[in-house]
């Protein structure tokens, strides 16, 4: 199963990605979590210790590696370079593992539409395609907020996309845009997850206003989420209400698979 987690800025993509990663790892699955945010914070959300976090760096920003593998400098548009560079060694070489979750920071590339190809996009696209062959692994991609970067190179390889929303029209508007862009590139399996939901009315609002995306479940608003962040403890360990909700979401996904 390969899932991308998307949504408007600050809705809880990283929180949900970390929760699901730990749910699957604790269920004995091989989990690869990929942080595609240029300012990565999934390692923190997963409670990776400092010495492991220090070994992480986004692949899209590794100028020397990009040059070594593609023959071109990062950011070059046009000219000749290898569009299918060697990447099979990258997941093991640049990831770190903690409590059963293997984590890789990919970084993100600017993709104007589906046609853009630059050396760092070539690396990421080839890398993600390579990850497709790791059949038994659960792959969770924590995406950069918004919609602009939603090009083929970054999402062509996922089976499904979870769009996280808050009980606000704005985040639902972003969800509708994401749905359209995803459909444009042929990805039709999308789900909605409501986060920071305070009561039944807010859950009902999301059910009523979903841009025709099936609702997988809701994560409650809980002040302990911020407390977990302050204390540097994963939400999975610190906030039972969110862990329980994440387990239910994983069940809903399984039921739909
Ligand atoms: N269920 C919740 N209850 C209370 N606070 C929450 C909840 N989920 C997330 N938050 C808080 O909302 C903020 C944003 O969460 P998170 O970083 O997961 O969102 P994001 O979508 O990944 O953000 P970004 O777009 O910056 O990557 C954090 O401060 C987090 O602690
Ligand atoms: Mg995030």
Phi, psi of 36 (to 5 degrees): -100, 10
The confidence score (pLDDT) of residue 66 equals 92
Locate 3 and state its tokens: 């899932």
Angle of helix 63-70 relative to helix 119-132, nearest 10 degrees, comes to 80
Q: List the one residue out of 125, 162, 122, 152 whose CA is nearest residue 1.
A: 162
Which residue's CA lies nearest to atom 9 of ligand 1?
Answer: 12
Compare 133 and 100 and report the one with higher pLDDT: 100
Rounded to the nearest angstrom, the distance between the alpha carbon of 11 and the centre of ligand 2 is 8
Question: Ligand 1, closest atom to CA 145?
Answer: 25
The best mutation among 12, 140, 197 to test binding of ligand 1, ranked by most ligand atoms within 8 Å of the C-beta, falls on 12
| Gap between the Cα atoms of 165 and 169, Å rounded | 9
Q: List the one residue out of 185, 192, 193, 196 whose CA is nearest residue 212.
A: 192
Which residues, 6 or more positions from 130, have their beta carbon under 8 angstroms from its beta carbon? Answer: 87, 88, 90, 91
pLDDT tens-digit map of 185-230: 888 899 999 999 999 999 999 999 999 999 999 999 999 999 999 9
Question: Ligand 1, closest atom to CA 39?
Answer: 27
Q: Which ligand is nearest to the CA of 42?
A: 2
Q: List the one residue out of 128, 165, 113 whose CA is nearest residue 36.
A: 128
Averaged pLDDT score across all residues of the chain? 90
The best mutation among 4, 6, 10, 195 to test binding of ligand 1, ranked by most ligand atoms within 8 Å of the C-beta, falls on 10
Which residue's CA lies nearest to atom 23 of ligand 1?
Answer: 10
Say if CB 161 and CB 178 are below 8 A apart: yes
Residue 76 scores a pLDDT above 70:
yes
| Gap between the Cα atoms of 124 and 157, Å rounded | 11
Q: Name the fold adopted by 2-256.
A: Rossmann fold (3.40.50)
Rounded to the nearest angstrom, the distance between the alpha carbon of 247 and the centre of ligand 2 is 20
pLDDT tens-digit map of 18-52: 999 999 999 999 999 999 988 999 999 999 999 99
The DSSP output letter for 143 is P
Q: Is 30 helix (H, G, I), strand (E, B) or coil?
A: coil
Which residue's CA lies nearest to atom 26 of ligand 1?
Answer: 10
Rounded to the nearest angstrom, the distance between the alpha carbon of 15 and the centre of ligand 1 is 6
The confidence score (pLDDT) of residue 113 equals 46
Q: In the chain, pLDDT over 70 holds for what percent of residues?
A: 93
Rounded to the nearest angstrom, the distance between the alpha carbon of 118 and the centre of ligand 2 is 25
> What residues flank ligand 1, with Cβ below 6 Å?
7, 9-15, 37, 145, 195-196, 219, 221-222, 225-226, 229, 242
- Domain spans in the chain, listed from the N-terminal domain onward: 2-256
The best mutation among 16, 206, 220, 225 to test binding of ligand 1, ranked by most ligand atoms within 8 Å of the C-beta, falls on 225
- Laid out side by side, the sheet with 215-220 consists of 96-98, 101-105, 31-35, 138-142, 2-7, 160-165, 190-197, 215-220
Q: Is 129 helix (H, G, I), strand (E, B) or coil?
A: helix
pLDDT tens-digit map of 149-175: 666 556 667 889 999 999 999 999 999
Phi, psi of 99 (to 5 degrees): 50, 40
The confidence score (pLDDT) of residue 73 equals 87
| Gap between the Cα atoms of 198 and 221, Å rounded | 5
| Gap between the Cα atoms of 84 and 96, Å rounded | 24
């Amino acid at each position: 199963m390969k899932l991308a987690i998307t949504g408007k800025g600050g809705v809880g993509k990283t929180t949900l990605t970390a929760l699901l990663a730990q749910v699957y790892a604790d269920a004995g699955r091989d989990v690869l979590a990929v942080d595609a945010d240029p300012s990565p914070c999934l390692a923190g959300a997963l409670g990776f210790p400092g010495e492991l976090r220090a070994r992480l760096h986004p692949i899209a920003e590794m100028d020397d590696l990009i040059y070594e593998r593609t023959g071109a400098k990062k950011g070059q548009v046009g000219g000749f370079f290898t569009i299918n560079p060697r990447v099979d060694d990258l997941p093991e070489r640049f990831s770190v593992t903690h409590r059963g979750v293997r984590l890789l920071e990919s970084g993100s590339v600017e993709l104007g539409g589906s046609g853009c190809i630059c050396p760092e996009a070539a690396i990421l696209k080839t890398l993600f395609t390579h990850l497709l062959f790791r059949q038994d692994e659960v792959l969770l991609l924590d995406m950069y907020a918004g919609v602009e970067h939603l090009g083929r190179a970054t999402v062509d390889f996922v089976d499904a996309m979870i769009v996280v929303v808050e009980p606000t029209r704005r985040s639902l508007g972003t969800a509708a845009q994401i749905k359209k862009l995803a459909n444009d590139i042929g990805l039709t399996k999308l789900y909605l997850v409501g986060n920071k939901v305070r009561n039944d009315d807010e859950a009902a609002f999301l059910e009523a206003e979903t841009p025709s995306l099936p609702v997988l479940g809701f994560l409650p608003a809980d002040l302990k989420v911020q407390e977990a962040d302050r204390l540097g403890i994963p939400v999975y360990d610190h906030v039972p209400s969110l862990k329980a909700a994440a387990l239910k979401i994983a069940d809903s996904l399984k039921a739909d698979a």
